[in-house]
Amino acid sequence: MKSKRTHRGAALLILVFTIMFLVVVGRFLYIETTQEVQGVDLNKWAEDIRTSSYEIDALRGKIYDKNGMVLAYDRPTFRLYAIVDPNYSANLENPKHVEDPQKTAQALAPVLDMEASEIEETLRDGIATHEDEDEDNNRFQVEFGSDARNLTQKQKEEIEELELPGIQFIEEAKRYYPNGTFASHVIGFARTQDGAISGVTGIEKQMEKYLQEEKGAISYERDKYGTKLLDPNTVMKEPDHGEDVHLTIDQKIQTFLEDALTEVEEQYNPEKIMAAVMDPDTGEILAMGNRPSYNPNDIGNVENWYNDIISYPFEVGSPMKIFTWAAAIDAGVYDGSDLYKSGTYRPTEQSRRIRDHNNGEGWGTISFDEGFRRSSNVASSILAYEVLGQERYREYIEKFGFTEKTGIDLPGEQVGRLVYDRASEVITTSYGQGSTTTPIQMLTAASAVANGGQMMRPYVLSEITSSDTGEVLKEGTSEVIGEPITEDTAKQVRDLMESVVTSEDGTGQSFKLQNFSLAGKTGTAQISDGPRGYLTGRNNYVFSFMGMAPADDPELVMYVAVQQPDLEPTELGSEPVSYIVKTVMENSLHYLNIKPDKDQSPTVRTLSLPDVTNMSVDGATERLREDFEHVEVIGDGQEVVTTLPEPKSQVLENQKIMIVTDQPTMPDLTGDSLRDVHRLANQFNLNVEVMGDGYVRNQSIKPGAEIKENGYLVVELSPPSPDGEQSTEEPPPETELEQQNADLESEEAESPDQG
Measured in whole angstroms, how far is the alpha carbon of residue 64 from the centre of its chain? 10
Mean pLDDT confidence for 264-287: 96
| Better-scored residue on pLDDT, 753 or 247 | 247
Residue-wise pLDDT tens digits, 328-362: 999 999 999 999 999 999 988 777 899 998 889 99
Residue 225 above 60 pLDDT? no
| Better-scored residue on pLDDT, 412 or 8 | 412
Distance from C-alpha of 655 to C-alpha of 734, rounded to nearest angstrom: 7
Measure the CA angle with vertex 526, ends 524 and 529; round to 5°. Answer: 160
pLDDT attached to residue 399: 97
φ, ψ of residue 533 to 5 degrees: the values are 100, -120
Closest CA to 433 of 196, 647, 750: 750
| Better-scored residue on pLDDT, 677 or 249 | 249
Mean pLDDT confidence for 178-182: 91
User: In this predicted structure, which of 21-25, 263-267, 394-398, 535-539 has the lowest mean pLDDT?
Assistant: 21-25
Residue 155 above 70 pLDDT? yes
Closest CA to 185 of 201, 198, 197: 201
User: In this predicted structure, which of 277-286, 695-704, 724-733 has the lowest mean pLDDT?
Assistant: 724-733
| Better-scored residue on pLDDT, 65 or 171 | 65
Residue 543 above 80 pLDDT? yes
Distance from C-alpha of 38 to C-alpha of 27, rounded to nearest angstrom: 11
pLDDT attached to residue 734: 34
| Better-scored residue on pLDDT, 178 or 50 | 178
pLDDT attached to residue 29: 67
Residue 144 above 60 pLDDT? yes
Interacting residues of 223 by C-beta distance below 8 A, sequence separation 6+: 50, 229
Distance from C-alpha of 446 to C-alpha of 454, rounded to nearest angstrom: 10
Distance from C-alpha of 639 to C-alpha of 620, rounded to nearest angstrom: 9
> What is the SS3 assignment for 523?
strand
CATH class of 604-735: alpha beta
SS3 of 186-220: the string is: HHCCEEEECCEEEECCHHHHHCHHHHCCECEEEEE
Which residues partner with 151 through β-bridges? Answer: 78
Mean pLDDT confidence for 559-577: 92
The answer to whether 670 and 696 are in contact (CB under 8 A) is yes
Q: Return the percentage of the chain with pLDDT > 90, whole number.
A: 45
> What is the SS3 assignment for 552?
coil
Interacting residues of 10 by C-beta distance below 8 A, sequence separation 6+: none
Closest CA to 343 of 392, 289, 318, 379: 379
Closest CA to 490 of 434, 447, 528, 541: 447
Residue 35 above 60 pLDDT? no
pLDDT attached to residue 281: 96
pLDDT attached to residue 117: 83
Residue-wise pLDDT tens digits, 411-453: 999 999 999 888 889 999 999 999 999 999 999 999 999 999 9
| Better-scored residue on pLDDT, 729 or 705 | 705
CATH class of 251-295+306-601: alpha beta
Single-letter code of the amino acid located at 391? E
Read off the pLDDT band of 90 (50, 70, 90): low
pLDDT attached to residue 219: 65
Which residues partner with 563 through β-bridges? Answer: 272, 542
Mean pLDDT confidence for 297-321: 91
Residue 379 above 90 pLDDT? yes
Read off the pLDDT band of 161 (50, 70, 90): confident
Question: What is the helix, strand, coil percentage profile of the chain, to 5?
Answer: 35, 25, 45
Mean pLDDT confidence for 255-260: 94
Q: Is 311 a catalytic residue?
A: no
Quote the strand ranges of 15-165, DSSP E. Answer: 36-37, 40-41, 51-56, 63-64, 70-83, 141-143
Read off the pLDDT band of 99 (50, 70, 90): confident
pLDDT attached to residue 722: 36
pLDDT attached to residue 191: 84
| Better-scored residue on pLDDT, 616 or 530 | 616
Mean pLDDT confidence for 634-661: 86
φ, ψ of residue 373 to 5 degrees: the values are -60, -40
CA gyration radius for the chain? Answer: 35
pLDDT attached to residue 369: 94
Which residues partner with 340 through β-bridges? Answer: 366
Instruction: State the CB neighbour count (10 A cutoff) for residue 105.
Output: 25
Catalytic residue among 184, 311, 318, 375: 318
Residue 316 above 50 pLDDT? yes
Distance from C-alpha of 149 to C-alpha of 89, rounded to nearest angstrom: 25
Quote the strand ranges of 149-304, DSSP E. Answer: 167-176, 190-193, 196-199, 216-221, 235-237, 244-247, 272-278, 285-291
DSSP character at residue 294: -
| Better-scored residue on pLDDT, 87 or 683 | 683
pLDDT attached to residue 402: 96
pLDDT attached to residue 721: 43
Read off the pLDDT band of 139 (50, 70, 90): low
Closest CA to 396 of 375, 420, 377: 420
User: In this predicted structure, which of 69-78, 241-250, 554-563, 644-653 has the lowest mean pLDDT?
Assistant: 644-653
Q: What is the second-level CATH architecture of the domain 53-247?
A: Alpha-Beta Complex (3.90)
Q: Is the pTM of this model over 0.85?
A: no
Residues in the chain: 755
Q: How does the average pLDDT of the chain come out, rounded?
A: 83
Read off the pLDDT band of 36 (50, 70, 90): low
* Most confident of the following: 39-48, 101-110, 174-183, 378-387: 378-387
Distance from C-alpha of 462 to C-alpha of 474, rounded to nearest angstrom: 9
Read off the pLDDT band of 736 (50, 70, 90): very low
